[in-house]
């Protein structure tokens, strides 16, 4: 796991769906805030996937964009951020759990082609509902778990995938799990809570993620920062900074 985002690509849909304000109310403003916090060039590195396209075309749009930007930059992405609807086995931008092995192989190929074949860390942030859930313990065999496993099997043994266990706000949902590679060439069985629900620290965690609502200016970007912190760093930061 790396401590900084590095070369980052961000993905959202391109409009609200079914009379909701999901895109304009959460996905788009949150990805803009993420890019602002980490100095991501939105004009170059943010793709709005057409939701009028079918699933196959959405997926192709995502993969083509990753390949295009890697070629243009001469290096493979180090962090991928998705802000969209999610489910246990898919996200709305065209990726299903059954596609993740091929997805991981593409990312490895890009790392080899663009001069970073020895890179073992890759961060994928799923600001998407339910991707951290699954039929097994700790979300095992769900979308985030299977993505971590596929990345590990393709050489990203120090990867990190973050997903939410339940439906909720894209970035402020406190039921988030971390799926770390931990050096394994095969992955693992589920993930771990960033903060265990029901523990004394959980209230601080929830408060920090909702800093814009709980009026904590010193924590306003914490939801975009914790993915690049160790669990120990997250817990110590919460104890030191949230009352």
Could you report the per-residue pLDDT of 213-229, keeping only the tens digit for each? 888 999 999 999 999 99
Calpha distance 91→87 (Å, rounded): 6
Report pLDDT digits (tens) over 172-224. Answer: 999 999 999 999 999 999 999 999 999 999 999 999 999 988 889 999 999 99
The pLDDT of residue 1 is 60
Q: How many CB atoms lie within 10 A of CB 102?
A: 14
Provide the pLDDT for residue 199: 96
Cα–Cα nearest to 154, from 97, 113, 107, 115: 107
Report field, pTM of the whole predicted structure over 0.95: yes
pLDDT at 214: 84
CA distance 1 to 198: 27
pLDDT band with cut points at 50, 70 and 90 for residue 2 = low
Q: Which two tokens stand for residue 190?
A: 């589920």
* 48-86 core/surface letters (b: 16 or more CB in 10 A; e: else): bbebeeeeeebbebbbebbbebbeeeebbbbbbbbbbbb
Residue ranges of the chain assigned to CATH 3.40.50 = 8-193
pLDDT over threshold 90, residue 70: yes
Distance CA 210, CA 204 (A): 10
Given CATH 2.60.120, say whether it is the number of domain 8-193.
no
Given this model, what pLDDT does residue 113 score?
A: 94
> What pLDDT digit, counting tens, does each position of 116-128 carry?
888 999 999 999 9
């Amino acid at each position: 796991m790396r401590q900084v985002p590095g070369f980052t690509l961000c993905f959202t849909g391109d409009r609200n769906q079914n009379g909701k304000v999901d895109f304009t109310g959460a996905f788009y403003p949150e990805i803009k805030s993420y890019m602002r916090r980490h100095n991501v060039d939105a004009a170059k590195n943010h793709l709005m996937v057409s939701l009028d396209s079918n699933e196959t075309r959405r997926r192709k749009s995502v993969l083509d964009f990753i390949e295009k930007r890697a070629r243009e930059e001469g290096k493979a992405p180090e962090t991928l951020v998705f802000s969209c609807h999610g489910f246990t086995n898919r996200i709305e931008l065209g990726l299903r759990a059954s596609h993740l092995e091929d997805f991981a192989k593409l990312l490895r190929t890009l790392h080899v082609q663009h001069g970073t074949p020895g890179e073992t860390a890759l961060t994928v942030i799923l600001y998407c509902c339910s991707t951290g859930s699954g039929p097994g313990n700790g979300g095992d065999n769900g979308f985030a778990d299977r993505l971590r496993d596929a990345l590990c099997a393709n050489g990203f043994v120090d990867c990190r995938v973050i997903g939410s266990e339940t439906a909720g706000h894209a970035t402020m949902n406190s039921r988030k799990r971390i799926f770390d590679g931990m050096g394994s060439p095969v992955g693992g069985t589920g993930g771990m809570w960033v903060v265990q629900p029901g523990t004394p620290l959980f209230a601080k965690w929830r408060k920090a993620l909702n800093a814009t609502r709980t009026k904590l200016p010193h924590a306003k970007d914490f939801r975009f920062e914790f993915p690049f912190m160790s669990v120990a760093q997250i817990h110590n930061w919460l104890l030191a900074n949230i009352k």
